[in-house]
A = this chain, B = another copy of it.
Amino acid sequence: MEIIKYPAKETWNVLLQRATQSVADIEDIVAEVFENVKVKKDKAVCSYTHRFDKVQLDDMFVSQDEFEESISVLSQELKEAIRLAKRNIEKFHRAQDIQGERITTSKGVFCWQEKRAITNVGLYIPGGSAPLFSTVLMLVCPAKIAGCKNIVLCSPPNKEGKIHPAILYTAQLCGVSNVLKVGGIQAIAGMTFGTESIPKVSKIFGPGNQYVTVAKQLATKYGVAIDMPAGPSELLVVADESANPAFVASDLLSQAEHGVDSQVICVSTSVEVLEKISVEVYAQLEKLPRKEIAKKSIENSKLILVSNDLIALELINAYGPEHFIICTENNNFYCQGIENAGSVFLGNYTPESAGDYASGTNHTLPTNGHTKAYSGVNLNSFQKTISFQKISEKGIQGIGPAIEIMAEAEGLFAHKNAVTLRLNSLKNKK
Contact = CB atoms under 8 A, between A and B. Distances in A.
Contacts of A354: 109, 389, 391, 396, 399-400, 403, 419
Contact of A111 (B92, B106, B386): B92
A134 B406 contact: yes
A338 B288 contact: no
B229 A220 contact: yes
B362 A85 contact: no
Interface in A377-398: 378, 380, 383-393, 395-396
A290 interface: yes
Interface stretch (A183-191, A245-253, A271-279): A245-253
A389 B351 CA distance: 10
A111 to B, nearest CB: 5
B373 A361 contact: no
B402 A357 contact: yes
A412 B130 contact: yes
B389 A361 contact: yes
A202 interface: yes
A389 B81 contact: no
A103 interface: yes
Query: Which of A113, A289, A374, A400 has the most CB atoms of chain B within a 10 A radius of its CB?
Result: A113
- This chain's copy number in the assembly: 2
A360 interface: yes
Given A343-B387, A373-B384, A407 B92 contact: no
A344 B388 contact: yes
A335 interface: yes
Contacts of A113: 96, 378
A257 B412 contact: yes
A360 B111 contact: yes
A119 B339 contact: yes
A64 interface: no
A383 B344 CA distance: 16
Contact of A80 (B290, B375, B402): B402
A345 B355 CA distance: 42
Interface stretch (A38-46, A299-307, A363-371): A363-371
A298 to B, nearest CB: 11
A5 interface: no
Contacts of A54: none
Q: Considering the complex of A and B, which 10 residue pairs feature the smallest CB-CB distances, nearest first? A: A105-B360, A225-B373, A81-B402, A88-B105, A250-B418, A353-B415, A202-B373, A346-B390, A351-B418, A361-B387
18 contacts: A78-B406, A81-B402, A81-B409, A87-B105, A95-B103, A96-B113, A119-B372, A120-B372, A202-B373, A217-B221, A246-B421, A247-B425, A353-B403, A353-B416, A353-B419, A355-B389, A357-B415, A362-B387
